[in-house]
Chains A and B, each alone.
Chain A
Amino acid sequence: MSEQSIHTSVPAELAPPGKVGRLSRLMHRSERARGYGLIAPALTFMLCAILLPFAILVVMSFWTATGFDFDTSFSLENYKQALERPIYAALLERSLWMSGIATVAAVVLCYPMAYFVAFHVHRHKMFWIILMTLPFWTSYLLRVFAWKVVLGYEGVINSFLISVGLIEEPLEVLLYSQSAVIITLAHAWAAFAILPMYVSLEKIDRSLLEAATDLGDGPVMRFLRVTLPLSLPGVISASLLIFIPTTGDYITPALLGGPDGAMIGNLIQKMFGPINNWPMGATLSILLMLCISVICVLFILLTLFVRRRIS
């Protein structure tokens, strides 16, 4: 294909050779500018699409709702409410807990899988990766819904347990509980956990493992001293990629959570729907973002600290 381009003649407009030279020198000097120019459209879009809505969200969180309209004078009333009324803090805490457990479950369960494909699959790696990530690309709504079928009163698990005689009455705790939400979240986001961990495991230099073996480390020590610390970046990104989006989920708790499984996302969604208190919804969104940020920073610092201790 390079051949093709070689034979393409230089457009006639650029005739004087001196000018071309100057131009290209200018081009080279302004390489940085060209780079920025190329990334500018995407960056500009993202700046507008992220910063503007967030700015107005922050502004709105200081307004108050009056019937259908907003009182646009500055007020800390929503934040005061959020601190005083127990429901907000409790739902926030519950959301963070449930997402946290789902994240840990997904990461722990997916790690061996990523490890397996990175170290033990030698042929058809691509096939395995596709196989593991495929469900992730199908509709989230439908995957969550599928769990309702599985966990339901006459669902798969209950009918199976009854048919093998382990239980006589269907288990009611399966659906409409926090555990139903946690299981579904962990399952639905598994693919997000596998990929980053796989990538960092795959990158590990195999000679380091050789070296550890030569130094007399057994498989467990080798794993703890070499593989695990080196794959930590993957574990961190996997954790964040699951934890953050799931804290704001409202589909899963709405379909599977029941009264006790509601999360903060449900309340935010309702603030913009039936409760019709947009400023409060904005406040809750901001608080959720703040909590997530703090937790993520702490988590990253902690893992860095642990990593330094190990190595």
Chain B
Amino acid sequence: MDVLDQLGSMREGKMSRRAFTRSLFASGVAIAAVPMGGRKVLAAPEDQATFFTWGGYDIPELFVPYSEEHGELPNFATFGGSEEALTKMRGGYVVDVSHPCNQALPRWVASDLFQPIDTSRLSNWPDVMPGLVNLPGNDAEGGNVWMAPFDWGQTSITYRTDLFELEGEESWDMLWDERYKGQLGSLASGGDAWWCGAIKAGVDFENIDTPEAFDKIAAVMREQRPLIRTYTDDTTTLEQALASGEMVAAMTWNASATLLKAEGVPVKFAEPKEGALTWVCGVMVHKDAPKLDLAYDVIDSLLSVESGKFMINDYGYGHSNAKSFEQFDSETLASLGLSSNPGEILNAGHFQVPQSQEWETKMNGLFEEIKAGF
């Protein structure tokens, strides 16, 4: 704040006008020289790796081993959806590590923006559950992988046990329940909502790219739209609305239910009879990662048992490190809707099937129209 200090001393008369003009001139030169003088003036010291992730993963709890080793946290950049992230990186945005999910994996790989992960450089790799690694499109040459799995979970319905009168079994019909018109909420991103619509419409994920599937899902989503209070990518909004009773049920991820329970709100994360939407997310390394060694430390830190404990206990998500689950008894895990055998959870639900970029653009465009009422 040199300039402000000088302005201050100028006003207090500590500095002669001549000295002031001289320094003003100097600062003018300095400013003009910024682009030539490199990053010193404008850019932060970039000694750490950059992790481009969903908001909420940019917290110290997930980087305890990393910060112990390097004395600082990695740099974070956050996004609200992985499509947004890929768009930004296609626009030339370079990071070290990013955080897609299984459904986007083949498209991310096909973008030629990433390099395979050399698993031998990760100390926690032997503990990673193989079931999460063997995803379609994840095998790179030489036994390496494109995406190191990190977190997994479900998209389902969080509902107020005291306000939502359940008729029979838990089901996706809950989010299409006319009785609660205007008291239902949904995630705004097609990456979740459209797939849940497919489950509701009875569309097999293998056929989700057919025109009939589009028609069927669109019809279901249009039917739901008047019942929805708001679509949002902002989970806080859904959680607050559930906490206050403004909404009685909403489409959320595991974490919302876990957090609300911790706050003492009577909610349950439903196990719909049609099955929930399940996913695995992980981390990928950018092909031009400027801090490649640190990128591996970021990944190793995410895969550590410390991070796993936090993910399971505080967010209610599954973790990819088998040892993380040993920290909890099966009762606690069951109450979180988790299991130390991810296959049990993932296969019980509907696991997303990767789609083409054209499909994504078409789906998102159509879903936006539906959300806007067309």
A residues with CB within 8 A of B: 65-68, 85-87, 90-91, 152-154, 170, 172, 176, 258-260, 262, 267, 270, 272-277
B23 interface residue, CB < 8 Å from A? no
- Of chain B, the residue at the smallest CB distance from A67 is B357
Contact B245 A153 (CB under 8 A): yes
A67 to B356, alpha carbons, bound, how many Å? Answer: 8
B interface, over-half SS? helix
Contact B246 A275 (CB under 8 A): no
A129 to B364, alpha carbons, bound, how many Å? Answer: 47
Listed from nearest, the 10 A-B pairs whose CB atoms lie closest are A153-B246, A67-B357, A87-B374, A154-B244, A275-B364, A258-B230, A274-B83, A273-B84, A87-B369, A176-B230
Q: How far is the CB of A161 from chain B (nearest CB, A)?
A: 15
A273 to B79, alpha carbons, bound, how many Å? Answer: 10
B368 interface residue, CB < 8 Å from A? yes
- Of chain A, the residue at the smallest CB distance from B90 is A68
Chain B contacts with A in 231-260, Cβ cutoff 8 A: 231, 240-241, 244-246
Contact A258 B373 (CB under 8 A): no
Contact B361 A170 (CB under 8 A): no
Partner of A68, one of B111, B190, B365, B368: B111
Q: How many A-B contacts at CB < 8 Å in the complex?
A: 74
Given contacts A176-B229, A259-B228, contact A86 B374 (CB under 8 A): yes
- Of chain A, the residue at the smallest CB distance from B372 is A262
Q: How far is the CB of B185 from chain A (nearest CB, A)?
A: 10
Contact A276 B229 (CB under 8 A): no
Q: How far is the CB of A157 from chain B (nearest CB, A)?
A: 14
Contact A275 B365 (CB under 8 A): yes
A interface, over-half SS? loop
Chain A residues with Cβ under 8 A from B246's Cβ? 152-154, 170, 172
Q: How far is the CB of A180 from chain B (nearest CB, A)?
A: 11
- Of chain B, the residue at the smallest CB distance from A86 is B374
Partner of B364, one of A87, A154, A276: A276
Question: Which one of B246, B357, B371 has the greatest number of beta carbons of chain A within 10 Å?
Answer: B246
Given contacts A68-B111, A273-B87, A274-B81, contact A262 B357 (CB under 8 A): no
- Of chain A, the residue at the smallest CB distance from B18 is A4
- Of chain B, the residue at the smallest CB distance from A277 is B361
- Of chain B, the residue at the smallest CB distance from A280 is B365
Per-residue 0/1 for B334-360: is the Cβ within 8 Å of any A Cβ (1 yes, 0 no)? 000000000000000000000011101
Given contacts A172-B229, A259-B225, A262-B372, contact A276 B83 (CB under 8 A): yes
Known: A68-B90, A68-B111, A273-B84. 15 other contacts (CB 8 A): A67-B358, A85-B369, A259-B225, A259-B228, A259-B230, A259-B373, A270-B368, A272-B87, A273-B87, A274-B83, A275-B361, A276-B357, A276-B361, A276-B364, A277-B361
A100 to B304, alpha carbons, bound, how many Å? Answer: 55
Partner of B241, one of A86, A153, A272: A153
A170 to B190, alpha carbons, bound, how many Å? Answer: 30
17 chain-A/chain-B pairs, Cβ below 8 angstroms: A67-B356, A67-B358, A87-B368, A153-B241, A154-B244, A170-B246, A258-B230, A259-B373, A267-B368, A267-B372, A270-B364, A272-B87, A273-B81, A274-B189, A276-B83, A276-B361, A277-B365
Chain B residues with Cβ under 8 A from A67's Cβ? 356-358, 361
Chain A residues with Cβ under 8 A from B228's Cβ? 259
Given contacts A67-B356, A68-B111, A153-B245, contact A274 B229 (CB under 8 A): no
A66 to B90, alpha carbons, bound, how many Å? Answer: 14
Chain A residues with Cβ under 8 A from B372's Cβ? 87, 90-91, 259, 262, 267
B182 interface residue, CB < 8 Å from A? yes
A291 to B368, alpha carbons, bound, how many Å? Answer: 22
Contact B241 A68 (CB under 8 A): no
Question: Which one of A90, A258, A260, A276 has the greatest number of beta carbons of chain B within 10 Å?
Answer: A276
A107 to B84, alpha carbons, bound, how many Å? Answer: 38
Question: Which one of B356, B358, B365 has the greatest number of beta carbons of chain A within 10 Å?
Answer: B365
Chain A residues with Cβ under 8 A from B361's Cβ? 65, 67, 275-277
Chain A residues with Cβ under 8 A from B87's Cβ? 68, 272-273, 276
Chain B residues with Cβ under 8 A from A154's Cβ? 244, 246
- Of chain B, the residue at the smallest CB distance from A66 is B358
Chain B residues with Cβ under 8 A from A277's Cβ? 361, 365
Q: How far is the CB of A17 from chain B (nearest CB, A)?
A: 27
Q: How far is the CB of B130 from chain A (nearest CB, A)?
A: 32
Partner of B373, one of A65, A176, A260, A267: A260
A274 to B372, alpha carbons, bound, how many Å? Answer: 15
A91 to B369, alpha carbons, bound, how many Å? Answer: 10
Contact A276 B360 (CB under 8 A): yes
A274 to B231, alpha carbons, bound, how many Å? Answer: 15
- Of chain A, the residue at the smallest CB distance from B229 is A176
Given contacts A65-B361, A67-B357, A86-B374, contact A275 B231 (CB under 8 A): no
Given contacts A176-B229, A276-B87, contact A259 B358 (CB under 8 A): no
Chain B residues with Cβ under 8 A from A172's Cβ? 182, 229, 246
Chain B residues with Cβ under 8 A from A260's Cβ? 373
Contact B190 A274 (CB under 8 A): yes
- Of chain B, the residue at the smallest CB distance from A257 is B230
A2 to B315, alpha carbons, bound, how many Å? Answer: 69
Chain B residues with Cβ under 8 A from A65's Cβ? 361
Partner of B244, one of A153, A258, A272, A275: A153
- Of chain A, the residue at the smallest CB distance from B87 is A276
Chain A residues with Cβ under 8 A from B229's Cβ? 172, 176, 258
A152 to B240, alpha carbons, bound, how many Å? Answer: 10
Q: How far is the CB of B255 from chain A (nearest CB, A)?
A: 21
- Of chain B, the residue at the smallest CB distance from A1 is B17
Chain A residues with Cβ under 8 A from B90's Cβ? 68
Chain B residues with Cβ under 8 A from A262's Cβ? 371-372
Per-residue 0/1 for B64-94: is the Cβ within 8 Å of any A Cβ (1 yes, 0 no)? 0000000000000000010110010010000
